[in-house]
Structure formats: structure tokens, C-alpha cells
Amino acid sequence: MAGTLYVVSTPIGNLEDLTYRAVRVLSEVDIVACEDTRHSQKLLNHYGLKTKTVSYHEHNERGRAEELLASIKSGLDVAIVSDAGTPGISDPGFLVVRTALDAGLRVVPIPGPTALVSALVVSGLPIDEFFFAGFLPARSGARRTRLADLAVIPSTLVFYEAPHRIVASLEDAREILGEREAVVARELTKLHEEILRGRLSELAALFYQAAHEPRGEMVVMIDRNVILSADEDTKSEYNVASIVAGFEAEGFDARSALKKSARQLGISRDEAYRRLTAERSRGKP
Ligand code: SAM
């Protein structure tokens, strides 16, 4: 009879955050497939687990998935773990799961930590709906294009970010999404855990001042587009002219103010221009 593939969440910093069930599964399976065996060995040692480990990572995941599949088909139980948190969440794991499912094998989740959920629940931002966008592109051009795509999503936006890019990403977000409330959750579950709240520009300035080299692991959360997510009554109070006027008051020229307003409203620039002209002819501000 074929074995089972377990997808096991492991701590994101604090070694105590491994569930009883995860400990049992990691001790009972035949193989623990690790993103990095040396890294996960520390966790296994902490719990006195002696299970055999093999490595899988993004560079060998496809080949390794076939090998793991063969092991499971032969009746062995396999657990996959990543360096931290939940496999597959901005980490390798997806291919192994997909391959096992395609082969008709049983795949069982062993729930536990993931940085984005831990960050969201203490953010104070609305979490009834959120959009997790993984890591933003490293290059500013691609990052800004991605942010422009995300600008119209009426949910809290969540990203993972590397410390050396935090200032540039917050500044690009401010530029593309407009000023919004945001939260950066840093070093969750670790000694220097810190939750920083403020507007995008304030947080960018804070990290810029922080010795120019912010440290640690970070989750960035940005409040939803308040215009798009407003109820219909509130929405009707917004007109293109007042949003354009807001941007012009911030110092943007008429062309940029219109472009930014269109983005905030989730409409094309042509549509924004048509509405602006109509509003002005009706005598709105
Ligand atoms: N699989 C992991 C999960 O379930 O959260 C994510 C792995 S991803 C390669 C690593 C990124 O997750 C970090 O760059 C950071 O953005 C975020 N992260 C991981 N641990 C964190 C922590 N303790 N505090 C804040 N962010 C963390």
C-alpha cells in the first residue's frame, strides 16, 4: 500500500512553535524531506528526532519530487518541511505536492506557523479579506508594475520583503498605491519581535533613518484602497476632481495627479479624464 505525503509547518523563529502533532508525524514518517537538511536538523535535534532526512530545494525539486514519489509509492511515509513556516508559501514544496496529487497519492497538511498569518492577526488592519502577493520583484521597474496591478485590489495587501529592499519597496508603494496605512511585522516570534505601524511614507522614513540598514525578516501589510472598498454611499461622495485636487495639493502636476487618481479609482486615465471634465462642467470642485 502506498504511503502518505505530509506537509508539515515548522517554526518561523521560536523553536517552541512546533505542534504536538507535527512532532509525532516527524518522528513516525520514514523520511523528512527538507529544504535544507542542516537547517532542519537543528529543529529535529531540539525535539530529539532521529528520522532520516533528504534535501529538496528549488533547484532540485523536480528531480527530487520523482524520487520522493517513488518512495511513497513503495509504501514509505514522507514529510516535507521548509526552512521556516509552511512549505509552498514563498518556499519550495508546491512541485512535490502537485506531483504526489497527480499520482493519486494521499497528501495531508500538518498546520502550524506561517509568517503572513501571524503578522496579519496583530496588524490591526482589516483581515476579513487580504491578498498575499509573496515577494515583490527586486527591480524597481518590475516592482512598480506589479504594485500598479495590485493597486485596484480592495483588500489588505501582504508582502514578504528583504530588509535591504524595505525602504525602496515602501517608497514605491507610496508612489504607486498612494499614501495608505501600513504595518511592518519584523522578527516575529523572535527576541527582537517588533510591529511598526504608520503611513507608508512614515515607515519608509523610519527604516531609512534606522542606520540605513534595517535588519531581520519582515512582513509588509498595506491597508486596502479606501476608495475602492468604501460602501456605495461613501463611494458616491468621491469624485475624480476632489481626488485630483488632493494630489495637486501634494505637489503633483495635473497630468500625474490625473494618472494617480485613475489608479486609485481603478479606472483608465481616459475614463478619469471624461469624468473630471463632466464634474467640472457641473461645477464640482
Ligand atoms: N514559508 C515561510 C512562511 O510560511 O511564512 C516563508 C518563507 S520566505 C522564504 C521568508 C520570508 O518570510 C522572509 O523574508 C520574511 O519576509 C517572512 N518571514 C519569515 N519568518 C519571519 C518572521 N519570523 N518574522 C517576519 N517575517 C518572517
Closest by CA position to 173, among listed 220, 109, 115, 113:
220
Distance from residue 8's CA to the centre of ligand 1 (Å): 15
Closest-lying ligand 1 atom to the alpha carbon of residue 86: 4
| 285 Cβ neighbours under 8 A, 6+ residues apart | 239, 241, 242, 245
Q: What is the Cα–Cα distance from 154 to 180, expressed in whole angstroms?
A: 13
Q: What is the Cα–Cα distance from 242 to 252, expressed in whole angstroms?
A: 14
Does 21 score more than 90 pLDDT?
A: yes
Does 213 score more than 70 pLDDT?
A: no
Does 273 score more than 80 pLDDT?
A: yes
Tell me the average pLDDT across 11-33: 98
Contacts for 251-257 with beta carbons within 8 Å, 24 or more apart? none
Percent of the chain with pLDDT over 70: 93
Closest-lying ligand 1 atom to the alpha carbon of residue 193: 24
Distance from residue 231's CA to the centre of ligand 1 (Å): 34
Per-position b or e across 140-149, b if 16+ CB within 10 A of its CB: eeebbebbee
Angle, helices 61-73 vs 94-102, to 10°: value is 40
Is the beta carbon of 89 within 6 A of some atom in ligand 1? yes
pTM, rounded to two decimals: 0.85
Distance from residue 12's CA to the centre of ligand 1 (Å): 7
Distance from residue 239's CA to the centre of ligand 1 (Å): 40
Residue 282 pLDDT class (50, 70, 90 cuts): confident
Tell me the average pLDDT across 194-204: 94
CB 32 within 8 A of CB 26: yes
Q: What is the Cα–Cα distance from 153 to 11, expressed in whole angstroms?
A: 30
Largest CA distance in the chain: 76
Distance from residue 17's CA to the centre of ligand 1 (Å): 14
pLDDT digits (tens, 9 = 90+) for 63-118: 889 999 999 999 999 999 999 999 999 999 999 999 999 999 999 999 999 999 99
Is the beta carbon of 161 within 6 A of some atom in ligand 1? yes
Lowest-pLDDT range, 116-125, 195-204, 232-241?
232-241
pLDDT digits (tens, 9 = 90+) for 127-159: 999 999 999 999 999 999 999 899 889 899 999
pLDDT digits (tens, 9 = 90+) for 214-250: 789 999 999 997 766 666 666 666 678 878 887 888 7
Is the beta carbon of 18 within 6 A of some atom in ligand 1? no
Lowest-pLDDT range, 7-11, 146-150, 184-188, 238-242?
238-242
DSSP codes of every residue in 195-212: EEEEEHHHHHHHHHHTTT
| Burial zone of 179 (CB within 10 Å; 0-12 exposed, 13-18 middle, 19+ buried) | middle
Higher pLDDT, 18 or 225: 18
Does 26 score more than 60 pLDDT?
A: yes
Is the beta carbon of 218 within 6 A of some atom in ligand 1? yes
